[in-house]
A and B are shown apart, each in its own frame.
Chain A
Amino acid sequence: MKLRSIIVGSCSLFALAAGAQAQSLTIATVNNGDMIRMQGLSDRFTEATGIAVDWVTLEENVLRQRVTTDIATGGGQYDVMTIGAYETPIWAAQGWLAPLDDLGADYNADDLIPAVREALSVDGVQYASPFYAESAMIMYRTDLFEAAGLDMPAEPAWEFIGEAARAITDRDAEIYGICLRGKAGWGENMAFLTALANSMGGRWFDMDWEPQFDSPEWHEALSFYVDLMTEAGPPGASSNGFNENLALFQQGKCGMWMDATVAASFVSNPDDSQVADSVGYALFPTNGQFDNHGNWLWVWSLAVPASSQNIEAAKEFIAWATSGAYLDMVAEEEGWANVPPGTRTSLYENPAYAEAAPFAEMTLGAINSADTANSSVQDVPYAGGQFVAIPEFQGIGTAVGQIFSAALAGQTTVDQALEQAQQTTRMEMERAGYYR
């Protein structure tokens, strides 16, 4: 009897231990403010569900490489991973992601902003849940505009932006009319330049996947960018990415900055920004002829790799971290201004959020204006706004980004840069088998 009790007890303990071990999730993420906040609050999830959480925080590109290797080799090291709007459709099509169309009634999928939900879905099935989303907009200095006698329209055209940037620039006072991304990279300067080209009627590829850098639209876009940055941009702009421009804007050195809407919460925070009380917002410009605001849309989202051994627990975590209740929890702990933006319609109907985040309305407007299925006024064979959602784009985008960054630095002319970009892209697409 005693022996039997010991055996039964041991088996129970073993089962309990095995169960406890199964209820542990490994989550890969990046070092963004909203993600750090989520890590801090994840103890609440563990308390409520008994599921422990281990965090792996990595640099964005390292994370992408780690996760890609893990998925491709079926490693199963991660149960939840942070991925963007670029990877989601590609990886979902490969069968690498578990579908997330059953996250429970409390999740309320219908509350998700439609453009965001669509960016994370393939054939109507959602494969990632948005944690925060961003489009691009103009952040500008209201005091400098006022001093120059300028009035920013709600939907400005590039022509006005060019004139305003040149009017504001005062190099002796280290004030530059416009700060834009110049650092090479598919997610750096090419995000901005692709959105700029979209708004000017350009596209990366025609319907036969032929690159379009030899088109008049791309010539207009790149010439406009290089001329504007040369005359009204900060020195060394070819090295500036999101973070460098953020620092310049916060230090009062930029009249305008066009970048991700998430930056609005940084530049309007008086703890970090010297110009927090004089920032205005406007939609990403158009060329004045048609209604295309660049179609920039990026979503940091949570997904479950199909190789995970804990898919159900992982879904439970995602449902918790991307729910409306999570937004309320963050608001309660850290204030409404620190709530992850851009994912849920109900957030933008909340008067408390509108009061705490003066950029809320413009952010929603920018996200809603993004049509990632039709990024150009011309027909395109790809999805994606400021990127092209094909696996080859990381490599091609970065190579073209280096060519355009060199043009901005004055090492090549616009014509030479476009010719090189055309040749490079054509060669890579041919190598990838698009013309068979």
Chain B
Amino acid sequence: MARAVSTRRKLAFTALAWIVALVVFFPILWAFLTSFKTEGTAIAAPPKFLFFEWTLENYRTVLERSNYFRFLGNSIITAVGSTLLGLVVAIPAAWAMAFSPTRRTKDVLMWMLSTKMLPAVGVLVPITMLFRMMGLTDTHLGLVLVLTLINLPIIVWMLFTYFKEIPVDILEAARMDGASLRQEVIYVLTPMAIPGIASTLLLNIILAWNESFWTIVLTTTQATPLPAFIAAYSSPEGLFWAKLSAASMMAIAPILIMGWFSQKQLVRGLTFGAVK
């Protein structure tokens, strides 16, 4: 009897998980289907789900009209560059806060997080002016710096959480064996925190890849990443949903594929120590 109830509950939870997953995934599925419709079909009422004349015309038009690979290259450079730079800064910072905390550590962590509470548009003019004065507008370097800065609080917080899970005794044992600070971080701490660092890296790449406000505002033609590529396909006068969907699919495909292959690592890292 107990077993029957358990199976029923299991089925119910599985069904619920599927429903939630479908609801979350539906916008992407809809954009995927729309990218294969004609503009007229894309906006048809009632909407057509699967039974329509599938066409690759939108992808052809988008590839013809825009230099997709230039946008893709810029996205890879800025997302990977900002993530690596962020990790270089965040690993020592998180290490210091996790293993040598002071009275102010919690305040520092809160202050870092509070910078994420400020609406981006609030600092639009000063950052735009700083970029202009420093000659960073529409450059990869400028975009890498700004993406690093906006995601740094999240990287530090994530790494701090992972580092806190590592027993201090192990680090002390390494010190007893004569390990220097550098050796301790590189040979003891980092290998133990690799799942956490990997998931932080993956999450940060996704965040940097999808950042649209700053990437559109601070670039013009040379460093424009994929969000600007998508933004080019919205039209005030004329149907555009099918082409916009095709552009969106092309923009998210690389990050979706990366997420698909690394999902095990990502989930393991995100749930690291969650049930301790």
Contact = CB atoms under 8 A, between A and B. Distances in A.
Contact of A73 (B44, B65, B132, B235): B132
B216 interface: yes
B142 to A, nearest CB: 12
Nearest to A187: B236
A243 B228 CA distance: 22
Contact of B238 (A33, A54, A62, A74): A33
Contacts of B216: 58, 62, 66
Given A31-B235, A56-B221, A262-B237, A74 B124 contact: no
A247 B40 CA distance: 7
A56 B220 contact: yes
B42 to A, nearest CB: 9
B253 to A, nearest CB: 21
B232 A58 contact: yes
Nearest to B43: A247
Nearest to A69: B128
Contact of B44 (A36, A54, A251): A251
B217 interface: yes
- For A56, A78, A187, the residue with the greatest tally of chain B CB atoms inside 10 Å of its CB is A56
A69 B236 contact: no
A69 B44 contact: no
Interface residues of A, number: 40
Interface residues of B, number: 29
Interface string A243-280: 11011101101000000101100100000100000000
A60 interface: yes
Contacts of A251: 40, 44-45
Contacts of B228: 56, 58
B137 interface: yes
A58 B129 contact: no
Contacts of B125: 69, 72-73
B102 interface: no
A26 interface: yes
A413 interface: no
A26 B220 contact: yes
Given A62-B231, A251-B40, A77 B237 contact: no
B234 interface: yes
A86 B113 CA distance: 40
Contact of B40 (A55, A57, A72, A250): A250
Interface in A55-90: 55-60, 62, 65-66, 69-70, 72-75, 77-78
B246 to A, nearest CB: 13
Contacts of B211: none
A247 B45 CA distance: 9
A353 interface: no
Contacts of B221: 26, 54-56
B201 interface: no
Given A57-B231, A65-B217, A243-B235, 7 more contacts: A32-B237, A60-B234, A70-B128, A77-B137, A243-B43, A243-B239, A247-B44
26 contacts: A26-B220, A26-B221, A30-B236, A31-B235, A31-B240, A32-B235, A54-B221, A57-B231, A58-B228, A59-B231, A59-B232, A62-B216, A65-B217, A69-B124, A69-B125, A70-B128, A73-B125, A242-B236, A244-B43, A246-B239, A247-B40, A247-B43, A247-B239, A248-B45, A251-B44, A253-B45
